[in-house]
């Protein structure tokens, strides 16, 4: 799940930027509409305030205590001209750097094969899509991830490798 809106321009957001009232309402709507029958056993969140607040709101509905994982922190991608060759190279390097963090995350949180809600940021969700589904950088770059939207992946580990299928993308309550 991507965190709710802050009401602050994306270029001015800080890790400590809180959710707006509308952001809180939209998170609650999405959780109440999309997640009640998902049997969520764990909530893992970025420690940034907007994702943390979103996780705590989900927790109040799902009765699951969230944990906060530094590896899910926001990644600044495509802040400048997205057609700039240096920017594209930066994106590739960041994706390569995040891939081992994602594998460690999966090893830690999927060992029990429980349903997990991840409360994170749009670019972190794009990393999941890139690494787990094999989407190219151009494909993930073109995907809009709306605030308070839920993306559902089914992830299995077979022969030491993670395989995933996309159940749905970017649903909002």
SS3 46: coil
Looking only at the bridges linking them, the beta strands covering 150-158 and 161-171 are antiparallel
Distance CA 109, CA 17 (A): 27
Distance CA 62, CA 113 (A): 18
Residue 170 host element (H or E): strand 161-171
Task: List b or e across 125-153, with b for residues whose CB sees 16 or more CB atoms inside 10 angstroms.
Answer: bbbbbbbbeebeeeebbeeebebbbbbbb
Hey, how many other C-beta atoms are within 10 angstroms of the C-beta on 19? 25
Residues 86-124: pLDDT tens digits? 555 666 776 777 778 888 888 898 887 789 999 998 888
Cβ distance 80 to 87 under 8 Å? yes
DSSP letter at 18? Answer: P
pLDDT of residue 25: 98
Q: 164 - beta bridge partners? A: 155
Report all structural domains of the chain as residue ranges with CATH numbers, in order of start: 10-171 (3.40.50.1240)
Residues 114-162: pLDDT tens digits? 899 999 988 889 888 988 998 888 888 889 999 999 999 999 888 888 8
């Amino acid at each position: 799940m991507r965190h709710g809106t802050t009401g602050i321009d994306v270029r001015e957001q800080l890790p400590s930027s809180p959710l707006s009232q509308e952001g809180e309402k939209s998170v609650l709507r999405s959780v109440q509409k999309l997640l009640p029958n998902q049997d969520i056993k764990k909530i893992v969140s970025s420690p940034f305030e907007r994702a943390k607040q979103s996780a705590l709101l989900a927790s109040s509905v799902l009765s699951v205590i969230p944990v906060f994982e530094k590896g899910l922190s926001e990644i600044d991608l495509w802040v400048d001209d997205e057609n700039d060759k240096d920017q594209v190279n930066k994106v590739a390097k960041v994706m390569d750097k995040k891939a081992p963090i994602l594998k460690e995350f999966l090893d830690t949180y999927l060992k029990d094969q429980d349903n997990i809600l991840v409360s994170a940021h749009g670019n972190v969700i794009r990393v999941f899509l890139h690494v787990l589904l094999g989407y190219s950088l151009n494909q993930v770059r073109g995907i809009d991830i709306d605030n308070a939207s839920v993306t559902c992946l089914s992830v299995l580990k077979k022969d030491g490798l993670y395989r995933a299928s996309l159940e749905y993308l970017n649903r909002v309550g």
